[in-house]
Amino acid sequence: MLPVVSAQPVLTENQAIRIVDSALKQQPLFWQGFAIPYSIERSSKHKDAAMLEVLFNHKKLTRHKETQVVKVEGSKRKRISLNYRYDFIDQQASEYIAFQGGFYYGYGRLKKILQLSKPYLLGDSYYAEAYVQWYVTDIQEWVDAPAFDKARTLRRSLESKQKPFEKRVYLQYDGNQWGFWRGKPGGL
């Protein structure tokens, strides 16, 4: 008995647009610029100090004053360091941010499909590749602070409607319908 080969499924551009846009909307974006808790001198002009202050002002972090005795390098002397210690608001926020990998700053939306392949059979499944342009929406207010101008991912996210990101994504046919595939075809 010969194996039953199903006919190649059809994938229209409109179907691909709906699938990719829906998948992008379901993937929140997170930014992790540094490990928390973080102690830094109160008088610091370092970029991290400015970013931490913005996150504190937007109630993403707490800030406490701390005093430390620090050994002066190359000497037997010590000095007093007046620091701010930044931490998460509470344990739940800490666990959530650690689990997610950073601070939520928005989610993606499809701008357009630049290229869509014809469906092709790989193993037992049909796949299609789409080369897409996408942008970030629901950008959180803190992202636009000047302190984050040097954080390339966040800066590019703010510009992404005019200068969209590009990436290759894959769609898979499950035998009934097309869906977004979170990997390379066939798990390769």
Q: Output the 3-class SS for 118-152.
A: CCEEECCEEEEEEEEEEEEECCCHHHHCHHHCCCH
**CA pair distance 159, 180, nearest whole angstrom:** 26
Provide the Cα torsion 94, 28, 175, 132; round to 10°: -150
Q: What is the pLDDT of residues 46-92, one digit of tens each?
A: 999 999 999 999 999 999 999 988 888 888 898 899 999 999 887 77
Q: What is the pLDDT of residues 130-186, one digit of tens each?
A: 999 999 999 999 999 999 998 999 999 999 999 999 999 999 998 889 999 987 665
Strands, E assignment, 34-139:
38-41, 61-71, 78-88, 103-116, 120-122, 125-137
Contact 144, 163 (CB under 8 A): no
Q: What is the pLDDT of residues 16-47, one digit of tens each?
A: 999 999 999 999 999 988 888 899 999 999 99
Q: Rg of the chain's alpha carbons, rounded to an integer?
A: 24
Strand partners, 120: 127
